[in-house]
Structure 1
Amino acid sequence: MHDARQVLQTLWGYTDFRPQQRPIVEAVAGGRDVLAVLPTGGGKSVAFQVPALLASGTTLVVTPLVALMEDQVARLRSLRVAAACLHGEQPAAVRSESLAGIETGRWALLYLSPETLLSPPVWARLQGCPIARMVLDEAHCLTGWGSSFRPDYHRLGAARRALGHPPLCAFTATATPADRARIEQWLGLVEPVRLVIAPYRPNLAIRVRWMYSTRQRCGAVGAFLASRPDTSGLVYLRTRAGTEKLARELAKAGYRTTHYHAGLGAAARRRAEGDWLAGRLQFLVATNAFGMGVDAPHVRWVIHAHTPPSLEEYLQEIGRAGRDGEAATALLLASEPTGWLDPTDRLLHRHFAANRREQWQTAEKALARLPAQGDFRPELALSLALLHERDRLVWETPFRYRLVAAPPIRPPEAGPLVQDFVRTRRCRWQFLMAAFGEAASPPCGRCDRCTSRTFR
């Protein structure tokens, strides 16, 4: 720890680690596995970057976000740290330099996505590279996205074993007790050091309003924005088309905004994010593709124009407001309880549930045709991830699976927690903390249930 503090002071200019960073640094420097649930802004990056500079070998940082990779690498290089990243949007010369650096052991820290890690050119070079440890940032993607559209997350445990079983540190901002157990199981964490800090933000006031028509929903967004001129925030919707339509309408009304979703090209996404961070845009109208890894202290509010599919996603998104400790607001616009006058949320959730059922039906059909052992095939990636999720398959290597005898798989039923949260009469923060396994806390005194006033 003396050496770690010296590095922290010399390169970062801090005299000591924060209280929540210290046990992580001690565990990482000691070669232990780590599972840390640490709210964004808690300094998790420094907690693994400093030990990486004290170890021989390369620390692999697996993250889903290109923008986060490049931002972290730029900061580290400004400190004269040997860091690099690999992703599909890089110029050929930059990518060649990063690949060559793997073979020579040049990089103290190498950032890459699960897909890039397991791509043939990168994987072949990593076989001859001494790996000091692996870091999985945004680890909730393993349980939230891994079997939906980022299936390579499910092969990371096998990748770790194939790389010589280096220590692994998993970081996330939110995870229920059940998700934490799954992360440990799927990554093969061995007696990990666990650090869980509640995501409660006392400065963040949660509000829920019933919507009785699509017109009222649009009007509620407009009224909220009009009451907060020149403040920065985020508006979340569940569909790409919805973000584009609402952004157009709000831009016509004179607001400085644009839409953001995964269907945009890389340049358009970067431009939108950069304009928002620089203040050229007041807010973004986005799907859940935006916000992960973005640490912007100036966000005063978050609007959910649709009810999100899970409390994990909701808590991740509202947690982007008020990171500077100043007062902030999270407004959720929910379809009225019957869903008949405004069926928006009911239809959206039915659509996503149907997609999930279709994925499971595809997985069941694949299971009937799969041999007991076989090699990974890209066209089966989602089905293999779903089978792994349901304990019907184990990865013997990142590229070879083995089926496991078990009862017939059944698609998991969507939990009622989101609707329970919307309808609860107790303190909103108390409900969220209980859902995430945190100890009982006093009422927050700021949410709509605590103040017992209709939010306007």
Structure 2
Amino acid sequence: MLKTLKTYFGYTQFRPLQQEIISCILNKKDTLVLMPTGGGKSICYQLPALMMEGTAIVVSPLISLMKDQVESLQANGIAARALNSSNNETENANLRLECAQGKIKLLYISPERLLSEVGFLLRDIKISLFAIDEAHCISQWGHDFRPEYTQLKVLRQQFPQVPIVALTATADKITRQDILRQLAMRDPQIFISSFDRPNLSLEVKRGYQQKEKIRAIVKFIERHPGESGIIYCMSRNGTEKVAELLEEKGFKVAVYHAGLDNLEREKAQDDFINDRVQIVCATIAFGMGIDKSNVRWVIHYNLPKSIESFYQEIGRAGRDGLPSDTLLFYSFGDIVLLSKFAAESKQQDINLEKLNRMQQYAESDICRRRILLNYFGETADHDCGNCDVCRNPPERFDGTIIVQKALSAIARTDQQVGTRTLTDILKGAVTQEIIDKGYDKLKTYGAGRDIPARDWQDYLLQMLNLGYFEVAYNENNHLKITEAGRKVLFGHATAQLVVIKREERTVKPSRKSTRKDVSLQPVIPTLIPAIFEDEDEQLFETLRQLRKQLADQQAIPPYIVLSDKTLHLLASRQPRTLDAFGEISGIGEYKKKKYGKDFIEAIEAYKAENKR
């Protein structure tokens, strides 16, 4: 496994869980993999595909995503192809022949195309495994539900012996269970990597008007000279307007939204991944097909519709593990519009609940990374130090008794209530539901009379964000106590809550109160230790130019030639032989032979010119 990893991908060690996942797949076990964007999901199925006999079938939702993956694999000397509508009939005929001859190790295909090929192409080839990428698309509880994914259970019926690997970066507990059921996975092994992306800084600014937003964005981009970034906007019109305003300031910007024709969208994406433009202003239609490892920042011009969407979109920054920044703007107008969209959708209740959680994230005084991790079921017991709340911490107090009262009331109702009923119980309210269900007989009935109802709403939100209970939106939004909550309830841990200060908690502050917004204070630089010792920054720029030339010659994106991280290592270690070049992380045998001579010559020429 390690030999294959080094030969094809240029790495000498696996990331957490990768080795266990690959072993599992090689043993032909069904596997569910949850890893954050940039966590190394693809290698989990690509490497076993290289080691197993036959062709791996990879189900992927977007042509752009397939193109990117196939180009990356081919750049590593791996026989990979995509079967989709962008091919002509001759190309597809040749591809079928290559598959039948066993020449292709990984075949990427859309779910719709796969279903039409079940009785044809798939019957004629030896299949090593099925990899279902973006597997959250199969679940109605997922944030990107696609009905065509729900028919994929036919794979289990038609190919009972072939292992199924489902992979996603964004699935909460309920979505995970749905994926397993929908794909009819047998005794599946489930691997959940940490959702933490410590290299991403998190910041929220609320109540800004358009002019203030643009001013803040320009300042933000100026801190990232020449570095690639994405600005997500809610509407097509918004993308055009923001792009226009930034172009006036001298930035190179592309626009991407569903209102453009295919050629315009392809050009925008192509210009961005090939570094011809620095910024893309886009609706959420953009990015799923992008594996660009050196996106250094992501801005949300408006509030996203769910935490899953937000997490996936910010995840497009810093995929190479280097420090990257994210910024979220939101206003009362965003809430109004998104609530309208959610109310008009087919899954009204779910979408409103998910929007509610997104709003809570944006308004919270709790460490933002803890909220994200808790949402995905990962308990964080300390603040991150790399978000705006941690950099400007609010006043806190020991709220253990308050938390215990709330959790005790949830437990005594057998975890069958939502936040409104819970508040009524704690306040000792007399309502029809309380009387009918006998909640007025509970020991905790009225235990929180001394706290105003609106403060209870605030404290319950803090408890949710701290991960003391979770919302089961597949069970009428009932509250369920988590392991972290049980520790507090039974006195094994204490709970710190934020002191409520009403004047700072409005969604749309007045001019005067806007100045008090903690997010307006100066941004402290991210404190992540230097990763590259003795790096020559000028040499890095020289190597970046060479990478661009080599990429242009092959009509592929520069990051597919070598990642930014690998370039930084080259500028730091300055190898002078082919073997030393091959030792750099991210350089496999194929790239060593293909690019080694060019980069070594560039390093030698630079050193001679600079006499070092």
* TM-score class, shorter: 0.7 to 0.9
Superposition deviation, residue 197 in structure 1: 1.5
Q: Distance in 2 between matches of 1:235 and 1:123?
A: 43
Superposition deviation, residue 356 in structure 1: 3.0
1:392 paired residue number? none
Comparing 50-59 with 420-429, greater Cα deviation is found at 50-59
TM norm structure 1: 0.79
The 3 A distance-change label for structure 1 pair 24 and 220 is same
Comparing 413-422 with 318-327, greater Cα deviation is found at 318-327
Q: Say if 1:214 and 1:344, in contact at 8 Å, map to a contact too.
A: no
The 3 A distance-change label for structure 1 pair 32 and 356 is same
Q: Distance in 1 between matches of 2:361 and 2:171?
A: 17
Structure with the larger helix share = 2
Which structure would you say has the larger Rg? 2
The 3 A distance-change label for structure 1 pair 329 and 5 is closer
Query: What amino acid sits opposite 2:187 in the alignment?
Result: E
Q: Say if 1:251 and 1:258, in contact at 8 Å, map to a contact too.
A: no
- 2:83 matched to 1:86? yes
Structure 2 counterparts to residues 72-83 of structure 1, below 5 A: 72-83=69-80
- 2:250 matched to 1:260? no
1:172 paired residue number? 168
Superposition deviation, residue 318 in structure 1: 1.0
Q: Say if 2:143 and 2:309, in contact at 8 Å, map to a contact too.
A: no
| 1:131-164: CA deviation from partner (whole Å, max 9, x where unpaired) | 2210011222223798977321111122332233
Q: Distance in 2 between matches of 1:70 and 1:122?
A: 22
TM norm structure 2: 0.60
Query: What amino acid sits opposite 1:351 in the alignment?
Result: F
- 2:359 matched to 1:349? no
Query: What amino acid sits opposite 2:326 in the alignment?
Result: A
- 2:217 matched to 1:221? yes
- 2:353 matched to 1:414? yes
Q: Distance in 2 between matches of 1:157 and 1:223?
A: 49
Query: What amino acid sits opposite 2:157 in the alignment?
Result: R
Superposition deviation, residue 441 in structure 1: 2.9
- 2:387 matched to 1:447? yes
The 3 A distance-change label for structure 1 pair 5 and 325 is closer
Count of aligned pairs between the two proteins:
395
Q: Secondary structure at the match of 1:118?
A: helix
1:57 paired residue number? 54
2:183 paired residue number? 187
Comparing 443-452 with 264-273, greater Cα deviation is found at 264-273
| 1:101-131: CA deviation from partner (whole Å, max 9, x where unpaired) | 3444443221011111123x56522233332
Q: Distance in 2 between matches of 1:284 and 1:54?
A: 38
Q: Say if 2:142 and 2:175, in contact at 8 Å, map to a contact too.
A: no
Q: Distance in 1 between matches of 2:148 and 2:127?
A: 20
Q: Distance in 2 between matches of 1:325 and 1:18?
A: 12
Q: Say if 1:20 and 1:42, in contact at 8 Å, map to a contact too.
A: no
Superposition deviation, residue 80 in structure 1: 4.7
2:284 paired residue number? 288
- 2:241 matched to 1:245? yes
Q: Distance in 2 between matches of 1:346 and 1:217?
A: 19
2:366 paired residue number? 426
The 3 A distance-change label for structure 1 pair 30 and 413 is same
Structure 2 counterparts to residues 52-131 of structure 1, below 5 A: 52-119=49-116, 123-131=119-127
Q: Secondary structure at the match of 2:177?
A: helix
Superposition deviation, residue 172 in structure 1: 1.4
Q: Say if 2:254 and 2:272, in contact at 8 Å, map to a contact too.
A: no
Structure 2 counterparts to residues 267-416 of structure 1, below 5 A: 267-335=263-331, 339=332, 343-356=333-346, 413-415=352-354, 416=356
| 1:244-288: CA deviation from partner (whole Å, max 9, x where unpaired) | 232233223321001112443443333222322232211111122
Superposition deviation, residue 421 in structure 1: 0.7
Q: Distance in 2 between matches of 1:22 and 1:237?
A: 38
Comparing 121-130 with 24-33, greater Cα deviation is found at 121-130
Gaps of 5+ in 1: 361-409
Q: Distance in 2 between matches of 1:148 and 1:38?
A: 17
1:405 paired residue number? none
Q: Distance in 2 between matches of 1:277 and 1:208?
A: 27
Q: Distance in 1 between matches of 2:350 and 2:370?
A: 30
The 3 A distance-change label for structure 1 pair 282 and 204 is same
1:436 paired residue number? 376
Query: What amino acid sits opposite 1:127 in the alignment?
Result: R
Query: What amino acid sits opposite 1:451 in the alignment?
Result: R
Superposition deviation, residue 355 in structure 1: 3.3
| 1:177-216: CA deviation from partner (whole Å, max 9, x where unpaired) | 1211111111112222221112212232211111253444
User: Identity percentage over the alignment?
Assistant: 38
Q: Distance in 1 between matches of 2:75 and 2:388?
A: 45
Query: What amino acid sits opposite 1:230 in the alignment?
Result: G
Q: Distance in 1 between matches of 2:39 and 2:65?
A: 16
Q: Distance in 1 between matches of 2:303 and 2:201?
A: 17
1:44 paired residue number? 41
Q: Distance in 2 between matches of 1:228 and 1:207?
A: 16
Q: Distance in 2 between matches of 1:10 and 1:65?
A: 29
Structure with the larger strand share = 1
Match of 1:34 among 24, 31, 34: 31
Gaps of 5+ in 2: 393-517, 523-612
Q: Distance in 2 between matches of 1:194 and 1:92?
A: 39
Q: Distance in 1 between matches of 2:142 and 2:264?
A: 25
Runs of 4+ that moved beyond 6 A: 144-149
Q: Secondary structure at the match of 2:245?
A: helix
Superposition deviation, residue 332 in structure 1: 0.7
Q: Distance in 1 between matches of 2:276 and 2:351?
A: 43
1:387 paired residue number? none
Superposition deviation, residue 28 in structure 1: 0.6
Superposition deviation, residue 411 in structure 1: 6.9
The CA RMSD over aligned residues, in Å, is 2.6
The 3 A distance-change label for structure 1 pair 420 and 332 is same
Q: Say if 2:203 and 2:519, in contact at 8 Å, map to a contact too.
A: no
